[in-house]
Amino acid sequence: MSRTLHPAVFLDRDDTLIANAELPDEAFAGRWGDLADPAHVALLPGVHDSCLALRRAGFALVVITNQGSVARGGATIAEVEATNARVAELLPDPDRPDRPGSSLIERTYFCPYHPLGVVEPFNVEHPWRKPQPGMILAAVDDLCLDLASSWMVGDAERDIEAGRRAGIEPARCIRVGVDGELPDLAAATARILRSR
């Protein structure tokens, strides 16, 4: 049986889709910089429109996010999952009125491991932890994705490195944000859609 391969845009979560940098300090109390409270989830400007445009252009949207605060004792798996679910909930797919609650986000992968953590069994290095490409490679396999026509967008160098190590062309790995080549996901989306 042949499988149809789909292009994807792999998206970092924190400071790519949602605003971590602008949140009050109490959102991160004891959490090592990872947001793990659904009540504090807020999309960055233009993120919904960007995700909708990419989805309508045929891309699967896959979130890949390091959540090492689990290993460090700052969050539970359940809190991370609830936070990820809130992100997906804030990105509803208006093209699927037949499926209420369906999200523009196809799937979210997160890595709870960190080698400096204290919570077993997560206190070890793991092939899913960016800059390693494990989450991307798992998604490619799970969702029948075509790496050659896929993109990676994130605000940190480890996001870009994970994309490259997975085998995505360097020109298709876009760093956004204050240290990025483009300011935000909206600008990255414009580049992706122009290149088609």
Query: What does the binding site for Mg ion look like in residue numbers (CB under 5 A)?
Result: 12, 14-15, 155-156
Contacts of residue 121, Cβ cutoff 8 Å, sequence gap at least 6: none
- Contact (Cβ atoms closer than 8 angstroms) between residue 130 and residue 14: no
CB-wise, 12 or 79, nearer to Mg ion? 12
Q: Which residues of 9-19 are buried (b: 16+ CB within 10 A; e: fewer)?
A: bbbbbbbbbbb
CB-wise, 63 or 139, nearer to Mg ion? 63
Q: Clarify whether 159 is annotated catalytic.
A: no
CB-wise, 63 or 192, nearer to Mg ion? 63
Please give the helix or strand (H or E) that residue 153 lies within, else none.
strand 151-154
Q: Clarify whether 34 is annotated catalytic.
A: no
Q: Which of 14, 93, 155, 184 is catalytic?
A: 14
- Contact (Cβ atoms closer than 8 angstroms) between residue 131 and residue 165: yes
Nearest distance, CB of residue 87 and Mg ion, angstroms: 12
Q: Which of 12, 15, 159, 184 is catalytic?
A: 12
Nearest distance, CB of residue 156 and Mg ion, angstroms: 5
Chain Cα centroid distance, residue 181: 18
Nearest distance, CB of residue 167 and Mg ion, angstroms: 21
CB-wise, 156 or 188, nearer to Mg ion? 156
CB-count exposure of residue 120 (10 Å: 0-12, 13-18, 19+):
exposed
Nearest position to Mg ion, beta carbon:
14
Reduced DSSP (H G I as helix, E B as strand, rest coil) percent helix, strand, coil of the chain, to 5? 35, 15, 45
Nearest distance, CB of residue 12 and Mg ion, angstroms: 4
- How far apart (Å, rounded) are the C-alpha atoms in residues 132 and 109? 13
Catalytic residue positions, numbered:
12, 14
